[in-house]
Amino acid sequence: MIFKYFLQRTIRCHDTLLILFKGVDDKMKFELSERLNTGKDRSVLIGILEEKFRNISPKVDRTDNGLFIRAIRAFPGSAFRLDITDINLIKKEYGYLCTADVTYIPSITFVIAFLLGLFSSGILWLIPVYFYITQKRAIYNVIQSVLKRVKDEVE
């Protein structure tokens, strides 16, 4: 019973955090794109993208336009961030344009660790901040490398 109450409070707190960070779109969002010059069918390309992204994330879902990816993993400190990536394939003259719209925000773990570090001692609050800042570039590099591998595979 206590666990259920704590879980509900944590979910509400996380939802509030998402609402608070929606206005900070400039630093919390970034976009990557890659031109895929191929004659392959859209469904084949989505299948290849899905296979590659499943290697870096356990939560990959197909959508009408492409893929929806949550929680890219395998980094130290990844508990301090929440990333959501929307992959879209746009038909162009000689193939497709593959875009990745990434939303990158702090997780509830970040907030808890930040507050605990802030109130327990003077410098521990820097640990979640450091991991949060460094993870953004790591996420960018991983998504970019996956898009390049897909481009190399289909061309």
Rounded to a whole number of angstroms, the CA Rg of the chain reads 18
Is 13 within the bounds of a domain?
no
Query: Mean of the pLDDT values across residues 84-113?
Result: 91
What is the percent of the chain with per-residue pLDDT over 90, rounded to a whole number? 40
Rounded alpha-carbon distances, angstroms, from residue 97 to 18, 25, 100, 128? 29, 23, 10, 35
Which of the residue ranges 42-46, 72-76, 93-97 would you say has the lowest mean pLDDT?
Answer: 72-76
Is 52 within the bounds of a domain?
yes
pLDDT of residue 145: 94
Half-sphere exposure of 62 (CA within 13 A, CB side): 11
pLDDT of residue 24: 47
Identify the domain containing residue 132 by its residue range: 28-154
* Better-predicted residue by pLDDT, 56 or 73: 56
Is 8 within the bounds of a domain?
no
Domains held by the chain: number: 1
pLDDT of residue 23: 47
CATH number at residue 147: 3.30.530.50
* Residue 137 to residue 85: CA distance in whole angstroms: 14
pLDDT category at 107 given cuts 50, 70, 90 is confident
Is 21 within the bounds of a domain?
no
Query: Mean of the pLDDT values across residues 95-119?
Result: 88
Using one digit for the tens of pLDDT, what is the confidence trace for 53-62?
999 998 999 9
